[in-house]
Structures are given as structure tokens and as C-alpha cells.
Structure 1
Amino acid sequence: MKSFRFAVAASAMMLAACATAPREASQNMGSANAPDGAIVAAPMTSALLDMSKSLTRIVFASCAQQNEDQSIWDRIAAESPELVLYMGDNVYGDVRSSDPSLPELKAAYMRLAQSQPFARVRAAAPMLTVWDDHDYGMNDGGGDYALKEQSEALFEYVWAMPADDVRRARPGVYGSWMIGEEGRRVQIIMLDTRYFRSPLKKTDEYGARGKERWLPDPDPAKTMLGEAQWAWLADELKKPADLRLLVSSIQVLSEGHGWEAWREFPLERQKLYDTIKRAGADNLIVLSGDRHSAALYENDAVIDYPLFEATSSSLNLPASVWRAQSGETWVEVDPNRLGDMYFDANYGVIEIDWADRAVDVSIRAKDGAAVLSKTIELSTLN
């Protein structure tokens, strides 16, 4: 079934050739020939990731509208990241019809592929990607999305997944990478919060603060990750690592809103905490996106050490635009948030000091200035 899904998407996919990263820097992704023999342009490759090299500087980001200003990518390139984590809503290509060829999503990817600032980042740094709803193809979409198989095939093709990548052999786009030498190992875990997710519970008061669109649903039958991904995550968390970055496209710790977040499935969120604890997974930090704003969060009561989360969103579609247009001044109240929210365009930077065993996590404005930050001693994450 996987090979069929890949064939459907790849045979119709046409990307701009100018968007391809330099061949010597690109990941090995095999043939770019469609099954019917037609030649298609190469997917969006990125610089080769050296799994043996210890990381000290990582950029994380989400939510980029392909038709909006792309200049923030040049600022990201200036950060000289050793790795970029692109955490979802990488394009906005919601599919408006039942057309299995996904014309809207393909057009969105093609537009992104034409971005020269984005191409410069890909040429300079390895990039790991996961999706959220708008590059999945359905706003707030979950496991009931009818075109999810076609969307996954397109995702795998567009982001140049190698032919032997385990993600090609299973449903969903979740993945894990262990990077660096012993004593400086960074484990990247990217969750798929879309492909398997149960339907959400609609709010009883649309737009009301704290329950804007969805309500918490205690139904024990509801799932966020699906059985197979839960089992995989438990195994991944048991692997030794000196720093773990758990990427969830939607927020984990946030309590202050009724948009998509793990709080909508409280039993599943508790399962996440329990899975971390049972695995003895120390040195873990959560990264998330989706919100079109940025913030830092911490809760010291859910696992065996303070759980920290950094949310970075959006690269070029920030909430500040909508707030200015509507005159909105309210800021959601959240007991887990550290300090203010940041509503302008932003990205995140992780700086690892292996000598001092410390991690600095910061949210950066479009000009590169740090607007939110926290330094975490690794000794406190166990």
C-alpha cells in the first residue's frame, strides 16, 4: 500500500527545479522518475546530516505561509544552525475538494520550493520535518481525513525521504534520530499528531475564551498517536540520550486556550507523561508550534523532573497581524507559562554547551533578537 501511495503522489508531482539544494549537499533520495516514466523535478533536499557529529546549535520553527514574505529564512541561515527542525504547517495547502491528486497542497509545496531564502537554508543545514494540519491537508484534521494516505506519499516525496527510510514502510510520518557521540547524544523525536488522531470534541461556545473551538474530551477510546506510534515512542524513550528533543506539532503543556492541544485529550496527555516516566527518559525538552505565537512553559508536577516546553510559531503568519486588525489585547491565562507570549514572527534556537552541561533555549524575533529565553542545566532533567 505504501508503494501505491508513493506512486500516486510522485507521478503527479511537479516541483520547480530551481528549488533543489546543491546535489553534493543533498540527502540520498533515489530516483526522481515518476512510475509512468515522466521526469519530475527533484524534491526539496537539504544538507546531509552527519549522525556522528555532536550538535551545539539547532533552529526550530513552524507555520510558514508559502505566499507570504520569506525573508526570515535568511535570518535563520545567518544563525548557522547545524540542524533545522521544521515542525509543521510547513505550507498552507488545505485541500478543498475530494480530488486525490491534492492540487492545493501540491501548489503550496511548489510555491515554497521556489523560495530562494528557503533554498539557501536547505543548502546550508540539514532539515528534519514533520507535518501539522495545514500541510496534512485539512484544518484541524485527524485520522478521519480521507486523503491522508495520498498526503503522506506527497510529504515523503517532497521532503526527499531516502528510499530506505523506515517512515516509508509504515503509516504516519513520525520518526526518531540519535545524533552525536556518547556523552553528547541528541535524540530528536518527531511525533505525528495527525494521521491517527481521534476526532476532537466541538466547543459548546465557539470563540469563547478558553474554549474557542474544542473542549477537553475524557473519552478513554480517544487517541492522539495511535497504538503503533505509542509503542514505538515507548521504545524510543528507553534509548540512552544526553538530550532529548520531543517535537509535537501541537502544544503539550498549555492550559489557557481551546484551540488544538494535548489538553483536548487529557487521558492521552497523561499517557504521554506516564510513558516518559516509565521509560526513565531523562534530559527531555518539548518543542511545539501551531499557535501563531511563541511562549515558554514549564510544569514540575507531571514527570520526575520539571518538564519544559518551547513553542515557536509563526515564521511569517503571526498572530500580531490579526490582533492589530481586530483590536484584540487579551492574553490567555496559563498557569504553566513562563513570562509573556510573543505574537510577532519568530523562530527558536537551541544552544548546547556540552562542557557546562547546559542548554539555552530562546525565541528569536525576525531580526534575530532573543525575546524569550531560558537556560536549563541538564542536571535538573533527571
Structure 2
Amino acid sequence: MNDTTIAFASCMDADADPIQNVWDRIRAQKPNVLVLLGDSVYMDFSFGFLGSPKPRGKPYRMSPEDFAAALYACYRKQWQVKSFRRLIGEVSQIAMTWDDHDFAWNNSRGRDQSDCKEAVPKAKRLISRGLFMQFKHCLQTKNSGGSDYPPPPDLAELLAGEDQGIQTVLDVENVRIVTLDGRTFREAPSRLTAWMHGEAQLEWMSQQFDQWQSHKIIASGSTLKLGGESWHDYRDYQWMLARAPQNAIVLTGDIHRNVGPLAHGDPDRFWEVVSSGAARPGVGGFLNIGGGSGRFGILKCGEHAEVRLHETTTEDGCPFRRIY
């Protein structure tokens, strides 16, 4: 069986960076698989007083019609990035999930509707899911060889969609990749009572690996412990410590930096590798507040699993590090 080379990345914004050279750098690594770990577009970012053209809070105030038009425009603009399309045309498989900025807005979630600032109403959840699935289908089919992005679905069609998650399973050679949905079922954070993914989704994830004897990859938009909004802020992290598949590798994004591999559990039960900041420049001019660009990871799965993280200023990346 051939080795599998997986490229993984997160956080890109074609409004802020329409060139996105990172995808040509990834293409040079000749990956079989591309895993996008969320924030593939940005509905909002940072604050207006720092010069952000789409400050936090703006998508929440939009009507469903305006929300759909704005989100569709973001996906269409990302598809039009030439370096991105070159990579999409060459990888054999694509897996992807979302995080807060492509689900709806900063720190957004689908459950616990009592907090109006972060909870996403059903209409916008349906719009978001429909447009995410359109983008994903376009990537996975290479848009049937065309260069034009498909037209937007009718609003009525989006609102008639299924109010459910986007979690999936992808098998490539010796690797099984389970992409989790950490937004649709997310509740207000509480380590004692709240779930990020919902217990049912975690049980489903565990079942996907029950009979799988080779490499086990979990793709998540949120980190396990780093930054805000991590698994550690929910019951999900304790569930993972007790129930995670042995030697699973969790690929995560969100925090606009590369980290890892990090061992979790005692003994080392599972591993995390973070790659975030593919093409999301910061705001505030030369201050570059909150941004991160040029970062990605390469995971090679053969007899062993080893990972290399690429930074903005290191073309060849750090040396490969063996995970197991």
C-alpha cells in the first residue's frame, strides 16, 4: 500500500489576500489529500476601529437575504483565487470542516439560543450549511473542470435544507479521516455540562474507528486546549481523554499559528497538530494584528506517521517529526 501525504491548513480570506501564495507552496509538496480545517472564508474579522472592512457583529445584524448574498460572495471569491484552484485541480481527495467565521461569525454556535450575540438563528444556519455544501461539492468535483463558480441557490432552497451537521468520513489508502462539526451542536461553554460536538457525534466518531486498523485522523476546526473556544472548555475534552481512539491524530486550526505534535492523555493516547493562518493577514497595517499567513502542515502516513509544519518564512519547513 502506498504512503499517503496529507496537506492541512485553515484560515484564509480572499478579501484580505486575493493571491494566497501558500497554495502553490503546498502544491510543491505533492499531497494526495487536502484537509481544510475551517475558516475557509471570513464573514467577519477584528474591529472597525482597526480598519477591518467587515468588523465583528456585522453578519449578526444582516437579514437572511443579505447574509446569504455576503457568504456566497466570500465563497465565490475564494474559488476565484488562482493558486487555490491550481491546488484543488491536482489533489485527489479533499476533506473539510468549518469553524466560526465560515459557520456564521466570530465565536458563533448552533445551540443554546439564549445568548443572541453568539447563537446562530435557524435561518442563517440553513443558509450557511447550504452554501458550505455548495463550496465543498465544487472543490471535490473540481467544478466539473469549469473555472466559473456556480450561481447561488435560491434563498427558498437554502431555507428548505436540512438542519444537521456536516461531519463526514473519508478513506484514502491506509488512512481514515473523520471530519467533525464543532459548530452546529456547540453549546455555551461549560466544562461540566456543555458539549461542543454533542455526545452523539463523538460516539459516532468513535464507531468509525472501531474496526479501522491503520492511521486514524480526526479533523477539527477548534484546538484541543490552546486559545479560546477549545475542546478543553467543554465536556468533549474529558470524553476524549477517556474514549479517544488509540494513536489518533487530531488536526486542528483556528489560532493563526502552527503547534505540535502535542501528546494528550496518559499514557500518550492521542496527538494534536495545529496549522492555522494559511492566508488571513491581520489588520492595522504594519502592525498585522490578529493575522497569520503562509502556514500549513504536511502529514505523511506510511509505516509510521510523521509531520512537518511550514511557516511563512521557512520555505522547506521544519524537519519531519515522527508521531508514532
What secondary structure, in the 3-state scheme, does the structure 2 residue paired with 1:60 have?
Answer: strand
Matches within 5 A, 1:194-273: 194-200=183-189, 217-220=190-193, 222-254=194-226, 257=227, 259-265=228-234, 267-273=235-241
Note if contact 1:296-1:372 (Cα within 8 Å) is conserved in structure 2: no
SS at 1:224 equivalent? coil
Alpha-carbon RMSD across the aligned residues, in angstroms, is: 2.8
The Cα shift of 1:119 comes to: 0.7
Q: 2:61 matched to 1:97?
A: yes
In structure 1, which of residues 343, 348, 364 is the aligned counterpart of residue 310 of structure 2? 364
Tell me, yes or no, if structure 1 residue 156 matches structure 2 residue 129: no
Is 1:177 matched up with 2:170?
Answer: yes
Query: What's 2:270 paired with?
Result: 307
Identity of matched residues, % = 25
Whole-angstrom CA distance in 2 between matches of 1:306 and 1:230:
16
1:351 to 300, 309, 317: 300
Question: Aligned-pair distance for 1:138?
Answer: 1.6
Q: Deviations over 1:222-258 (max 9, x none)?
A: 111124312311211313131111111111143xx4x
Residue 80 (structure 2) aligns with? 114
Measured in 2, the distance between the counterparts of 1:368 and 1:169 equals 43
What code does the residue aligned with 2:305 have? V
8 A contact 1:242–1:283 mirrored in 2:
no
Name the larger-Rg structure. 1
Count of residue pairs brought into register by the alignment: 274
For residue 7 of structure 2, the aligned residue among 49, 53, 59 is: 59
The TM-score, its normalising length taken from structure 2, stands at 0.76
Name the CA distance, whole Å, in 2 between partners of 1:326 and 1:65: 14
Q: Which moved more, 1:362-371 or 1:57-66?
A: 362-371
Conserved 8 A contact 2:308-2:321? yes
| Counterpart in the other structure of 2:149 | none
Equivalent-residue separation in structure 2 for 1:308 and 1:324 (angstroms): 35
CA drift at 1:189: 1.0
Answer yes or no: is 1:145 the counterpart of 2:120: yes
Q: Is the 8 A contact 2:307 2:320 kept in 1?
A: yes
Contact 1:55 1:82 (8 Å CA) reproduced:
no
Give unpaired runs (5+ residues) of structure 2. Answer: 45-58, 111-118, 142-160
Task: Give the equivalent residue in structure 2 for 1:86.
Answer: 36
Shift of 1:114: 1.0
Task: Give TM-score, length-normalised by structure 1.
Answer: 0.65
